[in-house]
Amino acid sequence: MDKTKKVGFLGGTFNPIHYGHLMIAESAREYLDLDEVLLMPSGHSYMKSVASASAEHRLAMTRLAARDYPHFTVSDMEIRRGGNTYTADTIDELRSTYPQAELYFIIGADTLLMMDNWSEPARIFAGAKIAVAVRDFEENKDIGGASADHAEVVKEPSVHFTEAMKAQTAYLKEKYHADIIALPIKAIELSSSTIRARIKAGRPIGDMVPEAVTHYINEHKLYR
């Protein structure tokens, strides 16, 4: 019997894409034994302001960053769709593209705490398994065993992050029958906003993004 294909996807503005994004994607591929990982720059997020680099630039940088990862594919699905970007629509389209595959939506831990406020979360949880990248993996690997009160803990995640993760996971499993998996990653402090600030200040970013992305940013004078 043929093995069911396993496809993960990691979305984001990727403004710009950096080693943190790539590390999460590669960790998910290895830990979940994924056959393919889709890197998917967002179009226009209804939850964020307009990105400071165009969709075309962000897509080009993502393609450059993915060149050294043979199992990564860059998707322009959300950019092509136009209008606001909704994850539920993306998952429906991926289900049509990969009808027999297991889909894994790769997210950061902070994203899990917000998903109940997204557009149509029930469609998201029904269409894909959720792989949550967590740094304190030993504390969070059994994130389904919460006894803490969801409403009280989740509103203060920075104080009780492990408790917040467990409470949110239990809540989402009960409300949506969500399939949530803890994904171990190494602690890495990187953000696109920090990279943009360094570029604006004329500081180097070579240890934060692939060399080809650095050249692209310089060539097109992005984030100046």
Cβ atoms of 17 and 8 closer than 8 Å: no
Question: Which pLDDT tens digits describe the chain residue by residue (224 residues)?
Answer: 568 999 999 999 999 999 999 999 999 999 999 999 999 999 876 556 555 799 999 999 999 999 999 999 999 999 998 778 899 999 999 999 999 999 999 999 889 999 999 999 999 999 999 999 987 544 445 554 433 444 443 444 444 467 888 899 999 999 999 999 999 887 677 899 999 999 999 999 999 999 999 999 999 999 98
Q: How far apart are CA 203 and CA 145, in angstroms?
A: 44
Q: What is the DSSP letter of 115?
A: G
Beta-bridged to residue 180, according to DSSP, are 130
Provide CB contacts within 8 A for 34, sequence distance 6+: 6, 7, 8, 28, 71, 104
Residue 154, domain extent: 6-219
- Spatial separation of the C-alpha atoms in residues 30 and 159, rounded to whole Å: 31
User: 1 in a domain, yes or no?
Assistant: no
d(CA 76, CA 188) in angstroms, rounded, equals 27
Give whole-number Cα distances, 105 to 11, 12, 34, 156, in Å.
8, 12, 12, 25
Q: Is residue 134 part of a domain?
A: yes
Instruction: Assess if residue 152 is contained within a domain.
Output: yes
Residue 18 lies inside a defined structural domain of this protein: yes
Could you give the number of structural domains in the chain? 1
Q: What is the CATH number of the domain that holds 55?
A: 3.40.50.620
Is 224 inside a domain boundary?
A: no
The confidence score (pLDDT) of residue 136 equals 58
Both tokens of residue 40? Answer: 């998917």
Indicate whether 62 belongs to any domain.
yes
Helices (H), the chain: 19-32, 55-66, 77-81, 87-97, 109-112, 121-127, 137-140, 150-154, 161-176, 192-200, 211-219
Asked if residue 174 belongs to a domain, the reply is yes
Cβ atoms of residues 23 and 188 within 8 Å: yes
- Residue 16 resides in a domain: yes
